[in-house]
Each structure stands twice: as C-alpha cells, then as structure tokens.
Structure 1
Amino acid sequence: MSALKNKVAIVTGSATGLGAAVALQLADKGCNVVINYTKSETEAKETLAACQEKGVEAILAQGDVGEDADCRRIVDETVKKWGRVDVLVNNAGGTKFANHAELDELNAEDFLWIYKVNVVGAYQMIRACAPHMKEAGKGSVVNVSSIAGVTGIGSSVAYAASKGALNTMTLSLARSLAPKIRVNAVCPGFIGTRWFSDRFGSQTFEGIKRQQEESTPLQRAGTPEDIATAVVFFCGEGSDHITGETLITDAGMHLGFAPLTAR
C-alpha cells in the first residue's frame, strides 16, 4: 500500500505544468489533493477532474501565495475539508526574463515581486501548514527550486537569487521543524512544459529541447513527469529518513559547471 494513500497534499501552482503533474502522481498514490491556482481556472478545473478520475478527493483553492491571507485561507479550506494537512508542495513561482549582463533590465520592484512569490510565498505556506502537520505528528514539505539556485544561471539574476534563497530556507526550516516535519527541495533543470513554448514559440522551444538532448550527459530533455517523480519521492514514498536535502534533477547538466561544494 502506498505511504501516501488517504493523505492530504496541497500543491501550489498546480493548474498546469509541473504542479499538475505532481498533483496527478499524488492522486495515483491515493493521496487527496488541493489544486491551487491564481488565474488559470479552466486548467485548474481540468487538473481537478483528472485527479478525481483516479478515485481520490480533490478540491480547488484559488489564491496568490504571495499574499499571507490567501495562504492561510488555502490551508483553512483544506483542514475544513479533511481535518489535516500531510504534504505541502511549494511549486508556485514567478520570474522576469533579463540578460544577466544587463543590470538595468531588473529593478527593485522586480526583485521584490520574484522574492514575494518564490521565497516569501513558500515561507507563508509552510507557516500556515506547520501547526497542522505538528498536530498530526508528521509532515513533509517539498520546495520546488531550480538548478538556477545552485549554479546562478536561469531566466534572470533575480530568479536565480530567489531560488538560492529557497534552498537556504530549506536548510533552515529542515533544522527548526524537525523531527515532526521534513523539508526538502528539488532543483530541476529544463522542463518541457507549455510555459516554454508559450514564451518562446514552438520553433525555439523545440530547439531548446534538442539542445538539452545533445548536451546533457543523460541526453534527455526533462518532462514534468520526470521532475514530479522526484517531488513525490520526497512527499513520503521512501524518504522518511531524509530532510534538508536539495536534489538536482537536470539530466546531469550541472556536471558541466564548476564543482558544487554546497547546494
């Protein structure tokens, strides 16, 4: 029997992409799921229905994780429905594309917004969930970070810095919330989602995929399902002895960088 059967998981930013893939894999394990979204209501309802088709209970919870009141409401709605929260996946995130060498392409407002969603939002969700996890005696938090937070690459300096902060916060909270709550992070590289094709167009998107397949040691372009499997592992499928870990899931792309002595 799955360790996640009949448990309750909140997955932020789970209308589409990686978040949706995580929600579906959790549902496959028999876990009840909260589908959180900010604006993508139609897609969120589709993900909700797909989870319910797997025989679990699932609800929608609209809200912006950057707003503390929304975070608390999402958790309150979850506890009202099931009386518990066992798993939190902090997947919601945001970025602004900016050339790392062009410093004027980012301003203070860009940094503050990106940190508000990627770091503060994750913190606020953990803070709202922690009392319920502690009451149950056991809980798991998985922060969806990025290879950007380890290597300093990515869509912008602000994004990379925010993911580095998320990795550090993972370490801090893994210490302070133990022994009842485990806190880990997954650091994906490229993920072939609609987000990339919408941003760059299908032709450029296919070019990026080919580049990943040609340049990474495993010769693979990551899929949402690839990364979701790692996330679900940290949710409770055989990871009870792990906390404070950041798992790089990038087909080996990081091996081309300088030695990573800390992550």
Structure 2
Amino acid sequence: MSKEGLCAIVTGSASGLGAATVQILATEGARIIVNYSNSKAEAEATAEACRKQGAEVLVVQGDVSRDEDCKKIAAAAQGWGRLDVLINNAGTTKHVPHHDMDGLTAEDFQRIYAVNTIGPFQMVRAARALLEAGAKASGRPSAVVNVSSVAGISGGGSSVAYAASKGALNTMTQSLARALAPLIRVNTVCPGYIDTPWFTKGRGEAGAKQVRDAVVARVPLKVASTAEDIANLVCFLASPASSNMTGEFVRMDAGMHLIQ
C-alpha cells in the first residue's frame, strides 16, 4: 500500500476528511497539493503538518465549481510532470429537512451541484493529461477517488439537494470509469456519519452532539466514524493496492445500511 513518490491533489483539504487524507499521504511519502476555497489559515496549518512529515506540499486556492479554478489547481502539478492521484473531496450542503420543500431554492440546488457534482467532473477533465502521464510513467493506472455519501445511495442526508448531488456523483463515477480506462481508474467512497466539524457548522454544538449520539446508539458497530477512519479507505483506493478496482462505490457507515 506504499504511496512513496505518488503525486496527489486533494480538493477541499484544509480541514476535516481532506486534511486527514493528506496527512496520511504525507506520512507515506506522497507529494501533495492541498486545496482550499476560503480557509487559507487552516490550509496552511494542514500543509505545515504534512511538511513536518517530510512531504513536499503545495497550497492552492480554488473553488472547484469554477472551471478556471480547477485548471489552476491541476496546473500546480505541472512541475512534477505527472499526477498519480486525484481525490475529489471538496463538498458543500445546506441543512434542510427533506419535508421542507420551500427550504431549498433553485440557487441552493445549483450551488450544491456545482461543487459536489460538476466540480469533480471539471477536476478530472483538468487533470486528465497529467493523470495519464502518471499512468504511463508508473505502468499502472492513475487513481481518481470521489468522496460521495451514503446519502447518494439512500436518498437521505442533510438535504434533498445534497442527496441528489451525491447520487449524481455516484453515477458519474461509473461513466468516467468506463470512459477513462485503462489509464485512469475511478472509484467512490460513500461514508455515513463522520465525526467532524461539518455537522457542528450546520447544526451547532448541541445539534451535532444529538446527531452523533443518535448514530452511535443506532449503528450495529456502535461507533461514530472519524475523519481518519474514512481517510484510510480513501487512501487505500488511491494506492497501488487497489490497482484493479474501478467503477466501485465503497460504503463505510458502521453498518447503518443493515438497519431495517
């Protein structure tokens, strides 16, 4: 599972799951581009933590909903002459109960789709030539890992728009896996609840604790997955250990899907 020498971009990697992912990659010898949209201080702190592990790290600002920003993020890897890994982690949502049909505007849908679905497509398109170069140099396919959600399978989650955007991302994973083989493979991680500030930002401290406690009480494994738990799976799909996998959705939800 060594990632020594791999060149990787991780979008939305200033904090949370993205930050956990780049830190694992850094400890295992990868060269990394840390991307952020707004949180520069967090991105720089994450990058510095990676550098302390001896990793080569570049920090690039960019909003993946903007095609020109995706091209800028990918271009930052030109100096390496290749990419081996693209992890599409950047995401957004709006917390609205599914029964509240008036709680989501067309603009909400457009923004959520722009980041969660169109953004990964634009990043793959922008990085394609470098990913293909990486595959030719290494003799194995380069890896794209999309971070989706169980919401994209079950239709649950923080809002109807969020679930729909992740369902579309899952479908796109299969489309791109067919289109980009054999030089690039494309897989998706579908996490359940992750114990990160994501829920705190959306629901506040008390609301986030209520969600966490409810998840732990319900799931068969009686745990709340951490960012590091999910990041280990993301890094497996990014590594040569999963070289023969493409077009897969891998769910990690502590068994929530088993509840009837």
TM-score range, shorter chain: over 0.9
Structure-1 separation of matches of 2:155 and 2:41? 34
Q: Which residue of 2 aligns with 1:260?
A: none
Residue 149 of structure 2 is aligned to residue 151 of structure 1: no
Q: Which residue of 2 aligns with 1:169?
A: 172
TM-fit CA distance, 1:39: 0.5
Aligned AA for 1:26?
L
Structure-1 separation of matches of 2:217 and 2:179? 42
Aligned AA for 1:11?
V
Q: Which residue of 2 aligns with 1:107?
A: 105
Aligned AA for 1:212?
V
Q: Which residue of 1 aligns with 2:2?
A: 3
Within 5 A, what are the aligned runs for 1:42-57? Answer: 42-57=41-56
Within 5 A, what are the aligned runs for 1:59-208? Answer: 59-80=58-79, 82-137=80-135, 138-208=141-211
TM-fit CA distance, 1:200: 2.3
Q: Which residue of 2 aligns with 1:228?
A: 231
TM-fit CA distance, 1:194: 1.6
Conserved 8 A contact 2:81-2:133: no
Q: Which residue of 2 aligns with 1:256?
A: 259
Q: Which residue of 2 aligns with 1:24?
A: 23
TM-fit CA distance, 1:84: 1.4
Aligned AA for 1:176?
A
Output one character per residue of 1:197-249: Cα deviation in whole Å (capped at 9) or x when no partner. 23323233222222121110111101100100110000015101111000011
Structure 1-normalised TM-score?
Answer: 0.94
TM-fit CA distance, 1:79: 1.4
Structural RMSD (CA)? 1.1
Output one character per residue of 1:125-183: Cα deviation in whole Å (capped at 9) or x when no partner. 00111111112323100000000000000111110000000000000111111111110
Conserved 8 A contact 2:94-2:202: no
Q: Which residue of 1 aligns with 2:138?
A: none
